[in-house]
Amino acid sequence: MRQMIIDELTQAMQELTRGFAHILPRIIVLVIIAFAGWVVAYLLKMFLRSILRLIKFDKLSENAGASQLLTKAALPSATELLSRFMFWMAWLGFILLGVSVLGILGLQDEIARFFLFLPRLFVALFILFFGLLAASFFSRAALLAAVNANLRSPRLLSVSIRTIIIVFVLSMFFEELGIAEQTVLVAFGTAFGAVMLGLAIAFGTGGKDLAQQFLEKRFSVGKKDEGKEDELSPL
């Protein structure tokens, strides 16, 4: 009985040792790939950072108002953020490549799927980043134009434009990622339609007097206005 237990234990130990001896080189390969990946990812990060600094990407980001968004969210500069993103994506890719060497069943497919997903992730993040920049830029342009045209509620107009662009960008972002495509599509359609209908009603009722004034002014061009005020002539 005792001998049987010892034999079983010995056999188990031998199998474990054989298994470990079988997997150890693969683990070493994983570590080497991960280390090499770290070096490559680091070099890629430095390269991207230099390129972005060279093209003054932070200035572009500042111009479009993205830097303010990042500052508010306590995030680093746009250049730093993109460089770090590149580092982690590259390193994660190498680590997964190393993991695939281990030959764990089922993991290979998942890793292949991850690599296929990467381009879509990049495109989605690209859409999100530049979409948010566009939202910030156009909302500010609308705010300035509305203030200088002396329109009522300029901030409301600006926020509306920002919201519409962000909703549009988010729907594109999720669609690109393939997350709840149908739900996002329906939600976007409903939200966008509601906003447009709301705006149409608001302009229709609220802009009635404005339209009247405009038409009166437009068709009374030849008439002399006795009480006409002088405008400032800047130049």
Partner 1 sequence: MAEVKVAEESVLTDDFLRQLINVGEVDILVGVPTHNNAKTIGAIAETIQAGILTFFPRERAAIINVDGGSRDGTPELVASAAIDDARPNAKMYTLRTFHSISTQYASSPARGTALHTIMAAAELLRAKACAVISPESTQITTDWLATLLRPVYTADFDLVLPTYSRHRFDGILLTNLLYPMTRALYGLKIREPFALDYAFSGRLGSQFLTQNAWHEETAQAGSETQLTLTAIAGEYRICQSFLGTKERAERHSADLVPAMRQTVGALFSSLETNFSLWSARTGSQPIPTTGDERKFSLEPLRINRKRLREMFSTGVAELESIFQSILSPATLAELQGIARTEDVPFRYSAELWVKTIYEFAAAYHKSVISRDHIIQALAPLFRGRALTFLAENINGSADDVENNIESLCLEFERTKPYLLEIWKQ
**Cβ(85)–Cβ(57) below 8 Å:** no
Residue 62 or 175 with smaller CB distance to partner 1: 62
φ/ψ of 142, rounded to 5, equals -65, -40
Residue 133 or 177 with smaller CB distance to partner 1: 133
DSSP 164-216: HHHHHHHHHHHHHHTSSHHHHHHHHHHHHHHHHHHHHHHHHHHTHHHHHHHHH
Q: What's the closest the beta carbon of residue 154 comes to partner 1, in angstroms? A: 5
Residue 72 or 113 with smaller CB distance to partner 1: 72
Residue 6 or 55 with smaller CB distance to partner 1: 55
Q: What's the closest the beta carbon of residue 155 comes to partner 1, in angstroms? A: 6
Indicate the Cα dihedral angle 82, 124, 96, 92, nearest 10°. 10
Q: What's the closest the beta carbon of residue 70 comes to partner 1, in angstroms? A: 14
Residue 40 or 69 with smaller CB distance to partner 1: 69
Q: What's the closest the beta carbon of residue 58 comes to partner 1, in angstroms? A: 10
**Cβ(157)–Cβ(143) below 8 Å:** yes
Residues in touch with partner 1 (CB under 8 A): 59, 62-65, 68, 137, 140-141, 143-145, 147-150, 154-155, 228-235
Q: What's the closest the beta carbon of residue 141 comes to partner 1, in angstroms? A: 7
Rounded CA separation 177/119 (Å): 10
Rounded CA separation 87/38 (Å): 8
